[in-house]
Amino acid sequence: MGKLFGTDGIRLDITSGLSPNFFTSLSHSICESFGRDSVFLIGKDVRLGGELIFHGIISGLLSGGCRAYNAGLVTTPSLQFSVKSDGLFDGGIMITASHNPPNYNGIKVIDSDGIEISRKKEEEIEEIFFSLKDEFRSRQIIGNHEVEYYPGVIERYINGVVSQVDDEIIRKKEMKVLLDAANSVGSLAIPGIIRKLGGKVISLNSHLDYSFPGRDPEPTPESLKLTSLIVRESGADFGVAVDGDADRSIFLDETGKVYWGDRTALVLSPFLKEIHQELPSRIFTGISSSSFIEDILKEKGIDVVWMKVGSVDIARRLKQEGGLLGFEENGGIMYPPHQFVRDAGMATALMMELMARENRRASDLFSIYPKTWSIKTKYPLKSREEGFKIYERIKNQYSKYRIIDIDGVKVILEDAWFLVRMSGTEPVIRVMIESKKEGKEKDILKDIERILQVE
């Protein structure tokens, strides 16, 4: 059977052409999986090809006997919030390629609980899709059903986020927040959250543009160099940069320093433990997050549950077992009282509340994390078989250390850790290293390169 879904949804390079027939067949398969008469909410970000994909999806849903409503331009978390909360929908489809480069587009399929569909349901849709003939007939003619516009998705989402924090204490601080919206739909939702909480918004890359002229859609220290400078020079209390569909958030302190998502989770978790004593004192994260957070949080009575990389699996386990937070190193923050999905707007509101309650600068809050030196790189990989052999060589060489091998191989050393993991989307093997001692990360990389047999 063929494979369509990646780590989170389906993404395609559209520069070589875009077939609406593909998305018609795909959405027809989604309809059949959910069941005839299922009702879907469809939204999209600003990416090239979004309108073409939208009409392909509508054709497939209607031909399968399903119904659809058009949410228009929305963020992924706002679409998920409506699917979960409005009581009208069996599922949702978000047209986006998230953080991928501008030449990509695709979809995320949302279940009735607002979370991306399970791996089992992905496989079911793939099986239906690859069993369809090139030409298929409509299974049900559903009259003259019109795909109506469904208004208010972003407004209800903003109100939902604001209801989860102490807006009174936040308003008193009158914070100045810089938002880098990546020229996409984050600019339609997150400013409203900040303003409702009494904040002043400094907007950067906030005009909608499918070419993403301001920066790469993925927020990283490299892509946020100008953002960092403007945060510092503008006198903002902090900055937040989002990806193309605004489910991931990377924070910057008032000095312009950029922090990965696991640092944000480290700062938020003790605060959430204090205000949500009814929730289990544990957090869920992918194996790519820093191992240093584990010891810090353990001292505060919070356990870290390590998982495979991928927000879908983290979200569903968080919902099943309960916890304070789910998160990813790349900036995905999942707050259970609101919804079990990555949500940049909710993360921004939580950061505002934490700063207001603590009455401290962002740089002071993030200082809980030690100074470290890190390397992130990747190497070509001939085959997955070669990758598994590399895993075994690493485990043999580092057998006396703690090893976590649920997704690649993560080795916990004294004052350092590293992860070697095959990519799920590229023929490469990724290497992440972090050390509390300057220079040690380079020595570790040399050892890993010997094991990889890099010339």
Q: Are residues 224 and 217 in contact, defined by beta-carbon separation less than 8 angstroms?
A: no
Tell me which of 25, 27, 82, 98 is the catalytic residue: 98
Sign of CA dihedral 185, 21, 423, 321: positive
Collapsed DSSP state (helix, strand, coil) of residue 372: coil
What residues are paired with 408 via a beta bridge?
none
Q: Which residues touch 120 (CB under 8 Å, ≥6 apart)?
A: none
Question: What is the rounded distance in angstroms from the CA atom of residue 346 to the CA atom of residue 162?
Answer: 8
Q: Is 289 a catalytic residue?
A: no
Query: How distant, in Å, are the alpha carbons of 107, 302, 405, 433, 455 from that of 422?
Result: 23, 29, 12, 15, 19
Question: What is the rounded distance in angstroms from the CA atom of residue 333 to the CA atom of residue 220?
Answer: 16
Helices (H), 138-196: 153-162, 167-171, 186-196
Collapsed DSSP state (helix, strand, coil) of residue 166: coil
Of 415, 392, 424, 416, give the one whose Cα is nearest residue 405.
Answer: 392
**Reduced to 3 DSSP states, what percent helix, strand and coil does the chain have, rounded to the nearest 5?**
35, 25, 40
The alpha carbon of residue 375 and the mean position of all alpha carbons in its chain are separated, in whole angstroms, by 22
Give the DSSP per-residue string, 228-247: HHHHHHHT-SEEEEE-TTS-
Of 275, 364, 280, 362, give the one whose Cα is nearest residue 320.
Answer: 280
Structure tokens at 297: 């949080």
Give residue 281's identity as a one-letter amino acid code: S
Q: Which residues touch 57 (CB under 8 Å, ≥6 apart)?
A: 23, 24, 26, 27, 42, 68, 93, 95, 107
What residues are paired with 248 via a beta bridge?
332
Question: What is the rounded distance in angstroms from the CA atom of residue 134 to the CA atom of residue 357?
Answer: 59
Catalytic residue ranges: 98
